[in-house]
Each structure stands twice: as C-alpha cells, then as structure tokens.
Amino acid sequence: MDDLRDPAQAERLEHVAPDEAMRRREFLQRTAKTAGLAAGLATVLDPSTLIAEAAKRQRVVLPSPKNMPIDTFVVLMMENRSFDHYLGWMPKADGRQAGLTYYDKENKPHDTHRLTPDWQGCGHPDPDHSWDGGRGQLDGGKMDGFLKTGNDEFAIGYYAQGDLGFIQNVAPAFQTFDNFHCSLMAATLPNREYMHAAQSYGQIDNNLPPQTTAYKNGFPFETTIWHALEQKSVSHTYYYVDVPVSALWGTSGVAISQPVSDYYAACAAGTLPSVSFVDPYFAGSVGEGPGASGDEHPHGDVRMGQAYMADVVHAFMESPQFKRGALFIVYDEWGGFYDHVVPKRVPDIRNDTDINKDYGLMGFRIPAVVVSPYVKRGNVHHSTFGFESILKMIEYRFGLGPLTRRDAYATNIARAFDWRSKPNTSIPDLPRPEHVVSQPCSIGGTGQTRASEHDVVDMVTSGWLDSLGFDYKPMSPASAFREPGKVVEAFVPASS
C-alpha cells in the first residue's frame, strides 16, 4: 500500500494515479491546517496524528440536554460497505481509492480498481466479513489482508465520485464522518445488536436467539435503547419493510415495530416519534439472488438500496420535523471491502487482551452521514465514532443512563454538530428514487455466485418470526417506496 511519506511509494502513486496522489497531498495539507500545524508538516507527520489533531479542533461544547434544539432522531442502517470503497474519493476526507496494491494468498499483486458499471459483484463471491476474516484483513494493523481471507478482486474495488446515485450527493450536501467505525469487527447481526443495545450478547456471527445457549426466546429487551426510552416515556418506533431486525428481542421487539409506510406517513404529518430506526428491505420481492434487495448487501444491486435511501431521506427533509431533527445514515459493517485506516480499540463489557476474543476492537470504517440543519454543510468530521456514539447522543438528549460500558465511554456524536451557527433549514437538490434505481445485472442475464439469501432472512425461513406471531410479507414496491409507480417504471423501462 502506498504512503506519500515514502518517496518511492509517492513516486509510484504519481505514476499510476496522479489525480489520487494530488488529492492525497491536498488532503494532508488541509488536515494540517485544520489541526493548526504548518502545511509542510503534512509530509512528515503520520496521517493518523494529523487526523487526531484535526478532530480535537472540531470538537465543540455541548448545549445542555434541555437546550439542545434536536428532538427527533432517525437512524437508517444499510449493509456491508466500507468508507474507502464508497466515499474514498471525497476531497476533505481521509480516503484512498486508486493506486493501492494488495497481495492475494499466492502473493500476486492486485491494484484497487473502479467497479462501475458493475453494481452487484455478479460472478464474484461475497467478500468475507466474519470475525476471523476481519482479523485476517487487519493483519496486525498492516491493513493488507483483504485478498488473503478468501476474497477476490471485488473486495478491493471502489465507486468513484459520480458512480453512486444518492450517498455521493447527500454526503457533501450535509456532514460526513471519516472515522466512523462499525462497532464490532464481525458480521451483520452482532453490529445491529450494538446499534440497538451497545452490545452483541457475546455473539460474533449471525446466530438467531434459538441458536444461542442463553437467549432462546430473544435477547433481553430491557437491555435496549427502546426499553430505556420507554422508561422515560420518550416516543420511539422501529420501521421495517420485510424482515424486522427488532424481532431479535422477541415479542417486545416486534411490539415496537411498524412498516416503513408508517414512517413516510409520520414524516408527512409531522408526527415522527422522538427516536426512529429505519431498516431497508433485505430480500426484495424475488429474493436477494436476482439483485432486487434494497440493503446494498452483495449481491443486491446497490442502486436499489440507494433509491430506498433517497426516499427515506427525502421524506425526512420534507417533514416539518426536519427543522428540529437529525437523520444518521450508517452501514452495519464493512462487508469485507478494503479500507486503509486501522480500527480503534475502545472500552467494552467484553474487553480481552487476546485480539481473537476482544469485543473492544472496533470494525473497519463505514460510510456515515448526518442530515440535519445543525451541522456544517460540506464538512467532514474526523473524530472516532461508532454506533454507540449515536446512542450516547440520544441518551444525553433525553436523560437516559448508559446501556453498557461501550456507550458510557463513547464519544458523543453531538460534539460533531454546529451548535453556535444559525441552523440551515434549506433542502438541497438531491436525486430522488426514480433517478437512482436501474435494472440489476443478473436480471439482464449475468449470473452471480451468492449461494443463499442474506442471513437476516433466516428469521423467516427458520420459523422465528412465525413463533413471535409476526405476519411476514415479501417486499413489494408499494411497501418500500412513496411513489412505487415511478420506481417500477425506472426499474423496468418501457422499451424493455
């Protein structure tokens, strides 16, 4: 991997990716300036040192909870993408795209490459994003193992500026975080458990409660942010399209869940609860294999997920509650895709000196954006955050105690907001769902290698949802989008 502080590597990057080399130099110089250091120091200081100093300068004094002007929180969690893979092109962010080289199991070199026009990874295996696989990719902090754990070149591909239909627009329109890590270097469900409860109950893979030894009837609801909000009489709802992740907490989790159509209606009426979590559709009307899922997990077509994201965000921005709200866009984990920043180790209820047992080791960086009138437009914030940082802001605002050691010691993401300036309630011109969605490649005849549905769908096939009395219905455009006719027309053009 190339480092501009090494003359030989800098020369190589200038040769293979001159635009990337220039962007990287400019980023380091801007970061040095933000950190209050001479720009020339960017060529001698470790980039992580520059980022840390810049992050310190960005932190602000918080208003008291009762004076905090935000009373509506929304969290939209997508699936399986890393920061460099999606947003490494951003000029103000610590991102790397072209010009990196990774070695496979046979020690053969492979360069990072632009993925378009591939929107699914058709013909490629789903990149390894397991507990053990992540540690292999970390490789003791060298960050060079992304092709050594069973991945192929798909894992070191990226989407450049202009390639993605919505996040590329909303990220620079509001505020992005370039040190936001998934909470756990592990798979989907453990990270989603951290989002709801600041812990994964010791789980490192996608086991459902019946597969565990201690939680056969669901994880304990009283450990969640939902229960804490309930105890303080703060309104709250989890919104789903097809499979509710809230069902991991049994019947109590199902009880707080509503279809995403209710989210759209609440946005329009100005009746959103104080805290909402919104999830995508995990299977699609015909399953994930054909590319029609809306979560962006391989091998779903990323444009389907981007279209869904666009609708969720537009509904929020058009709501009367946008003026006193904050919507966070995050991804559950990195999905096995490359990233160059070493994850942090933080306090956790299951810390261990053995990296193979340590839950305090965060996962790799993920794309993360906040949509709110109370952030600096076009800003990139450099502080280290995780899902527990969002929980901490919610807890601070509503006077809740911490759920675990993890959120108790987390940096409150409210420190990344701009509390001094006048709120900017203007709505930027961003793509709408019908501008983003398009036909998945596998429907067009190109095969792909996903052997089974997303593990979240196991909640359906295993009978877990049936046991909770949940009436599962497959996704339809009408159940996922506000104007399904426009999306269907864009998905299957009239000329086809």
CATH number for the domain including 149?
3.40.720.10
Mark which of 365, 390, 416 sits at the end of a domain: 416
Kindly list the distances between the CA atom of residue 81 and the CA atoms of 78, 96, 310, 418, in Å, as whole numbers in the listed order.
Answer: 8, 14, 17, 27
**Can you give the pLDDT at residue 446?**
47
- Cβ pair 467, 334 in contact under 8 A: no
Cβ neighbors of 64 (< 8 A, separation 6 or more) are none
DSSP letter at 444?
T
H or E segment to which residue 176 belongs: strand 175-177
**Closest to 128 in 3D by CA, of 157, 148, 101:** 148
Q: Which tokens go with 297? A: 């997990």
Mark which of 363, 381, 416 sits at the end of a domain: 416
Whether residues 70 and 35 fall in one domain: no
Classify 398 as helix, strand or coil. helix
Write phi, then psi, for 158 (nearest 5 degrees): -145, 160
Whether residues 218 and 79 fall in one domain: yes
How many domains are there within the chain? Answer: 2
Residue 143 lies in a domain: yes
**Can you give the pLDDT at residue 299?**
86
**Closest to 330 in 3D by CA, of 381, 386, 379:** 386
Residue 447 lies in a domain: no
Whether residues 271 and 227 fall in one domain: yes
Whether residues 19 and 138 fall in one domain: no
**Can you give the pLDDT at residue 49?**
74
Residues of the chain with confidence (pLDDT) below 50: 443-449, 494-496
Whether residues 198 and 96 fall in one domain: yes
DSSP letter at 109?
E
Distance CA 234, CA 227 (A): 10
Residue 461 lies in a domain: no
**Can you give the pLDDT at residue 451?**
53
Residue 159 lies in a domain: yes
Distance CA 167, CA 177 (A): 13
Please provide the size of the chain in residues.
Answer: 496
Whether residues 272 and 301 fall in one domain: yes
**Can you give the pLDDT at residue 36?**
72
**Can you give the pLDDT at residue 416?**
96
Mark which of 39, 58, 77 sits at the end of a domain: 58
Classify the C-alpha dihedral 423-426-429-432 as positive or negative. positive
Q: How many CB atoms lie within 10 A of CB 5?
A: 13
Residue 298 lies in a domain: yes
Residue 493 lies in a domain: no
**Closest to 135 in 3D by CA, of 302, 358, 289:** 358
Residue 206 lies in a domain: yes
Q: Which tokens go with 91? A: 């000029």
**Can you give the pLDDT at residue 421?**
95
Cβ neighbors of 249 (< 8 A, separation 6 or more) are 196, 218, 219, 220, 221, 224, 226
Whether residues 400 and 290 fall in one domain: yes
Whether residues 34 and 149 fall in one domain: no
Residue 462 lies in a domain: no
**Can you give the pLDDT at residue 278?**
98
Place of tokens 């933080």: 346
Whether residues 93 and 18 fall in one domain: no
Whether residues 85 and 221 fall in one domain: yes
Kindly list the distances between the CA atom of residue 62 and the CA atoms of 214, 384, 396, 406, 480, in Å, as whole numbers in the listed order.
Answer: 40, 17, 10, 20, 36
Whether residues 15 and 87 fall in one domain: no
Q: What angle do CA 167, 26, 429 make, to 5 degrees?
A: 25
- Cβ pair 39, 33 in contact under 8 A: yes
Whether residues 52 and 69 fall in one domain: no
Distance CA 27, CA 286 (A): 43
**Can you give the pLDDT at residue 7?**
56
Q: How many CA atoms lie within 13 A of 255 on its CB side?
A: 8
What does the H/E/C string look like for 128-152?
CCCHHHHHHHHHHHCCCCCCCCCCC
**For residue 329, what are the domain limits?**
65-416
